[in-house]
Amino acid sequence: MSENKYDLCERLEDFAASIILLYDKKPLSYASDYLAKQLIRSSCSSALNYGEVLGVGIDADKINKLRICLKELRESQRNLNIQSKAKLFSNEDLFGLKNENDQLIRIIVTRIKNIN
């Protein structure tokens, strides 16, 4: 993950890149392929939507984009949990991603609360 753990944009990008790297060299079953593609989409979407937050001036628009980031991160969280329960990866392989995903969710929730 990012060396500067306080740069949210960088952390979201690193999170998405870590997921891409996890699946890049692994042979996939039908289930893991399906979940991998969806996880890559949701994790990348959270980073891309946060990039849009940085360019928005109106608080209502910022909140809307942050809520999209939050939705995508929660989708990523469910996906990682399903993969863990289905033993598609070991818990050790997913622990860091699940932990970072949880921290990112908490940060986005806090950002939304602080705008209101």
Domain assignment present for 3 = no
Q: Containing domain of residue 13, as a range?
A: 8-115
Domain assignment present for 1 = no
> Is residue 6's pLDDT more than 90?
no
Number of folded domains in the chain?
1
pTM of the predicted structure, to 2 decimals: 0.90
CATH number of the domain within which 77 lies: 1.20.1440.60
Q: Where is pLDDT greater, at 92 or 78?
A: 78
Domain assignment present for 99 = yes
Q: At what angle do helices 91-115 and 59-85 cross, to 10 degrees?
A: 160
Query: How far is the C-alpha of 114 from the C-alpha of 94, rounded, in Å?
Result: 30
Domain assignment present for 84 = yes
Domain assignment present for 2 = no
Interval 25-62: pLDDT, tens = 777 799 999 999 999 999 999 999 999 998 888 999 99
Domain assignment present for 73 = yes
